Structure 1
Amino acid sequence: MEAVAPPAAGTPAIRCAGQERGYPEFADRAARIANGLRETGVGPGDRIAVVLRNEPAHLEITAGAALLGASAVPVNWHFRHDDLRHVLTDSGSKVVFVHTDLLDRVAAVLPEGVRLVEVAVPAGVAAACGITASPPTGAHPLLDEWLAGHEPLDRPAAERPPTVIYSSGTTGRPKGVLRAPVAPDRLAEGVQRFLEYFAVAPGGRTLIPAPLYHASPSQHAVLALAAGLDITLMPRFDAEEFLRLVERHRIEQVQVVPTMFVRLLRLPKDVRERYDLSSLTSVVHAAAPCPPHVKHAMIDWLGPVLREYYGGSETGAVTWCDSAEWLAHPGTVGRASGTGEVAVLDRDGQPLPPGATGDIYLKPSEDWPQFTYLGDPDKRAAMEAPGLPGYVTIGDIGHLDADGYLYLSDRRNDMVISGGVNIYPAEIEAALLALDGVRDAAVFGIPDEEFGEVLAAHLETEPGVRLTAEAVRGHVAERLAGYKVPRAVVFEQRLPRDESGKLFKRRLRDPYWAEHGGAI
């Protein structure tokens, strides 16, 4: 992300929970942060970490780093212990910006020599998140005082930095997706494509309700800033507050995940009808499959303004469909757009005909940067399609129809997507196996109307050991982020493994899905 040329006074701004920054102030603060980082020893090619909830400072810090040619790494502020230590160490960040109430958690796993900058939790953000704003500790520089002590950087770096976003991986550890720097002409193309597909004009009004540590909201913010949009951030998603913000700021465009649709539809009808949503012209969703009945209900409510895409942190959006296309092809996630392409291959890497299910491979659009994984180039190479240069898989399986529309049916690995968040069961199983009395553990996704999937844990205990579901959940909650705590906990006499030790997890998982008709 880079600080953009500010529009004229009185035009679009960046706001969140009572804070508002005009673009001139935003650009000034970003330039002061850049100079402060430079004097701290950060330079081109370096990385910093941002452990903050959504608020304008998150974007200012990211923009300030980019002015130096440095990369800001957004970190999931729910992370604890090993996950947090891994990201801060693996990213090689030299400075960490952190909300005051999260300081102890970060300091406990901070690599040696890394500097901390405290960011006071704004009152509106604290209220929205249901926390008590902690007073500054005084042990580290406080952001507002720190940036005020520096003049704005007067000579930005000549080149844009690469971007780094962490996403759950097949090892269970968050993996760093390193995307190459984008040339100015490619950035301009990307901004134009964003405006076209998100159906918003330069200077238009957008709302970002999802956490900026996720790839899609982060990229949305990058492009929205580059396009000079009026940006409203939500510290956390609340269904009625979402409607209030759309009405108050006459929001035209928003990007959501299907879980948000479910929560919006659960509001009483009189509450939903209380707000004027007529300004909405584009509601984009992605990150997880959307149950068809939920999407139908949203189109019935808002009109044909829904747009959907499919892709990943590594590829960006590759397929798109608008409401009319989806209604004509129910269940699709769209078809390849622009210069992006999709192929469905069998296990031998051969193309499959329409209707046949296989591994999905994506070829990103030409304006999407090349990527690799920090410290794991072999993993990047393993994603390539044999015989199809430039095509990569993100682990999903599905099929194309005769018109080229893509449909998802399953994931090749055991990853669970709950509320748009990728969760890998292996790390949860490892945490459970550390609990006294647990002999074996299997964690997997089961259907849920709101989140798409939630976690179930089936446990085999040592003879004579009696555990409760509450004790199991508490054990996981102490070690991992809250969204990784299993919703269902079941105790088994023996988990289904063969003589080689292979766990037949599907035998445990299938009954849940069969009871639900095999789909959400």
Structure 2
Amino acid sequence: MYPGAWSGKYPDKPAIVMADTGRTLTYAELEERSLRLANWFREIGLQPGAHVAMIAENRTEIIEAYWAALRSGTFITVVNCHLTPRESSYIIHDCDAEVVLISAELESAAELHAHCADVAHRVQVGGVPGTLDGARHYDEILAGSSAEKPAYEPRGDDMLYSSGTTGNPKGILPALKEQPVEDENVPLVQLFTQLYGFDENTVYLSPAPLYHAAPIRFVMTTHSRGGTVVVMPKFDPEQALSYIQGYGVTHSQWVPTMFVRLLKLPEEVRAGYDVSTLRAAIHAAAPCPVEVKQRMIEWWGPIVHEYYAATEANGLTVINSEEALRKPGSVGRDGLMGIVHICDELGTELPTGEVGTIYFEKAEGTEPFVYYKDERKTLGTRHPEHPGWTTTGDLGYLDEDRFLYMAERKSFLIITGGVNIYPQEVENELALHPDVRDVAVIGEKHEELGEIAVAYIEVEDHVKPGDDLSAEIREWLAPRLARFKIPRRFEYIDRIPRTPTGKLVKRKLTAVSA
């Protein structure tokens, strides 16, 4: 299904609502605008398998362009709008974009546009026409393009980039299938529908950036099922609650840091909003502290769901609220999209309870992912004896019931005086401190102990960082962590470096501490 399937049935139904302004795009408008853009792609000669890139803040045009790609057989790469122009330019050129769409509202728009002077077709989105010299304006293109639906619209796909927490990000190339955009046989849509009950009555709140895989794919699922998408320009915890109440939100997708910020709202603020319309609150992208999840379930009820997956979409585990309370810390069981195998460094499968590399055995009828133009990196994800088993490098273990638990990556492990410290365990406790907005723990070289644990802390606005706060935090941690796990030093910084999906970019902290 796609917007055209619903525009005939519900032409005036809101397909997209911008949460802050209430600006609405109906199904009829989404159908026409995405069709006009897709026809322009065809008009300028884009063939199925060609690449389009877009960089913008959360706005309706991202979703229009996404559907235009999906109905023209092209690949679309939505770029993180918080990257520097140089970083963005790397992705735009690496994906071989023949078209780049740039929001004129971005602070770096002009510089980014200059970096993309060699891209064949440059499009300015929003702003006064002519702001980006030499680029055609998005509205002008739509006004001059046909709204006539072709007899056949081949289905395209996204080609998103990994978060790039180490080195340059990698483009993840899916295999295009010969199928029309109307074809309902789209595994991801079918899976989300099965798991979370997306349907015509769904009102999906997207509090996260649309350039990340999970938010944009949940948006597409909502539209495939005829629901309404409510887009937040950026996340704010109290505003999110007000939108849930005001728009009657039924489904939403979060990252754990959002849960932490929601729970830190004063009790009277949280109690002042009605969230009873929620049927599924889905979270992923980063480990969620057990206490945080338990408190969210207490507050919102047994509607909290977690899944573990990657942008590479090589596998999936899922866990519901009841299972999470019974198996605290687990990210769920496999079977819906691939089978989990835990292996050592040589590829030997490990027994229950032992930590190793997480491999997914591909599901029937699927093809392993490929990193675009990087055969070496692609080969590095394959199991040495089972090419159909792939990994993104995460570590974990299975229990006796095949529930998966994540473990710290070896590169993040801190060994102090011969004793292992897992930063995630320390971060989970510190995240619950009322004065801590965000935190990251890394290892720093030490002449005597080899390494020591150092906590980098972003404090709440009303808090004054310093030695007094550090002493108070140490005292607060004492009953919660063994003494050797408590960081030897606390550093206070303006912002913890994270990808917009919540993943910590520890290499940036390492650079700070060097």
Q: TM-score by structure 2 length?
A: 0.77
Question: Which runs of structure 2 are paired with 1:292-441 in the superposition (5 Å)?
Answer: 292-315=290-313, 318-366=316-364, 370-413=368-411
Pick aligned residue for 1:195 from 188, 193, 196: 193
Residue 336 of structure 2 aligns to a residue whose secondary structure is coil
Q: Quick check: 1:315–1:362 contact (8 Å CA) kept in 2?
A: no
Query: Aligned partner of 2:136: which letter?
Result: P
Residue-by-residue CA offset, 1:103-138 (whole Å, 9 max, x unaligned): 2131231151432211116xxxxxxxxxxxx78616
Q: Quick check: 1:68–1:156 contact (8 Å CA) kept in 2?
A: no
Shift in Å at residue 9 of structure 1? Answer: 3.1
Residue-by-residue CA offset, 1:227-276 (whole Å, 9 max, x unaligned): 22211111111111111111111111111100110111111111111111
Q: Distance in 1 between matches of 2:58 and 2:365?
A: 27
Q: Percent identity?
A: 34
Residue-by-residue CA offset, 1:289-308 (whole Å, 9 max, x unaligned): 00111111101111111111
Residue-by-residue CA offset, 1:139-176 (whole Å, 9 max, x unaligned): 33222232112222531655322430011347611110
CA RMSD across the alignment:
3.3
* Pair 1:22 & 2:26 matched: yes
Aligned counterpart, 2:171: 176
Shift in Å at residue 367 of structure 1? Answer: 6.4
Please list every run of 5 or more consecutive structure 1 residues that lacks an aligned counterpart in the other structure. 122-133, 416-443, 461-472, 493-520
Q: Quick check: 1:458–1:490 contact (8 Å CA) kept in 2?
A: no
Residue 314 of structure 1 aligns to a residue whose secondary structure is coil
Pick aligned residue for 2:54 from 46, 50, 55: 50
Q: Distance in 2 between matches of 1:347 and 1:277?
A: 46
Change over 3 Å in CA distance of 1:285–1:404 after alignment to 2: same
Residue-by-residue CA offset, 1:390-432 (whole Å, 9 max, x unaligned): 21111111110000000011124459xxxxxxxxxxxxxxxxx
* Pair 1:258 & 2:256 matched: yes
Shift in Å at residue 487 of structure 1? Answer: 6.4
Q: Quick check: 1:187–1:367 contact (8 Å CA) kept in 2?
A: no
Change over 3 Å in CA distance of 1:294–1:136 after alignment to 2: farther
Structure 1 range deviating more: 361-370 or 7-16:
361-370
Residue 160 of structure 2 aligns to a residue whose secondary structure is strand
Question: Which runs of structure 2 are paired with 1:6-155 in the superposition (5 Å)?
Answer: 6=6, 7-16=9-18, 17-18=20-21, 19-102=23-106, 103-120=109-126, 137=131, 139=133, 140-155=135-150
Change over 3 Å in CA distance of 1:224–1:337 after alignment to 2: farther
Query: Aligned partner of 2:61: which letter?
Result: A
Please list every run of 5 or more consecutive structure 2 residues that lacks an aligned counterpart in the other structure. 414-422, 447-492
Residue 152 of structure 1 aligns to a residue whose secondary structure is coil
Query: Aligned partner of 1:166: which letter?
Result: Y
Aligned counterpart, 1:159: 154
Residue 244 of structure 1 aligns to a residue whose secondary structure is helix
Residue-by-residue CA offset, 1:170-216 (whole Å, 9 max, x unaligned): 76111101111256567344322211212333441111111111111
Query: Aligned partner of 2:5: which letter?
Result: A
Q: Distance in 2 between matches of 1:334 and 1:119?
A: 41
Q: Quick check: 2:3–2:27 contact (8 Å CA) kept in 1?
A: no
Shift in Å at residue 281 of structure 1? Answer: 1.1
Change over 3 Å in CA distance of 1:414–1:181 after alignment to 2: farther
Query: Aligned partner of 2:144: which letter?
Result: G
Q: Distance in 1 between matches of 2:11 and 2:325?
A: 42
Residue 385 of structure 1 aligns to a residue whose secondary structure is coil
Shift in Å at residue 336 of structure 1? Answer: 0.4
Aligned counterpart, 2:209: 211
Aligned counterpart, 1:435: none
Report how many residues are paired: 438
Residue 159 of structure 2 aligns to a residue whose secondary structure is strand
Q: Quick check: 1:73–1:163 contact (8 Å CA) kept in 2?
A: yes
Q: Distance in 2 between matches of 1:244 and 1:412?
A: 41
Q: TM-score by structure 1 length?
A: 0.76
Residue 312 of structure 1 aligns to a residue whose secondary structure is coil
Query: Aligned partner of 2:244: which letter?
Result: V
Q: Quick check: 2:76–2:157 contact (8 Å CA) kept in 1?
A: no
Q: Distance in 2 between matches of 1:138 and 1:362?
A: 45
Q: Quick check: 2:412–2:442 contact (8 Å CA) kept in 1?
A: no
Residue 388 of structure 2 aligns to a residue whose secondary structure is strand
Residue 171 of structure 2 aligns to a residue whose secondary structure is strand
Q: Distance in 1 between matches of 2:299 and 2:201?
A: 26
Q: Quick check: 1:318–1:340 contact (8 Å CA) kept in 2?
A: yes
Aligned counterpart, 1:241: 239
Q: Quick check: 2:113–2:132 contact (8 Å CA) kept in 1?
A: no
Q: Distance in 1 between matches of 2:264 and 2:151?
A: 48
Q: Quick check: 1:360–1:393 contact (8 Å CA) kept in 2?
A: yes
Q: Quick check: 2:11–2:28 contact (8 Å CA) kept in 1?
A: yes
Q: Distance in 2 between matches of 1:68 and 1:200?
A: 25
Residue-by-residue CA offset, 1:457-486 (whole Å, 9 max, x unaligned): 9799xxxxxxxxxxxx99x99xxxx98695
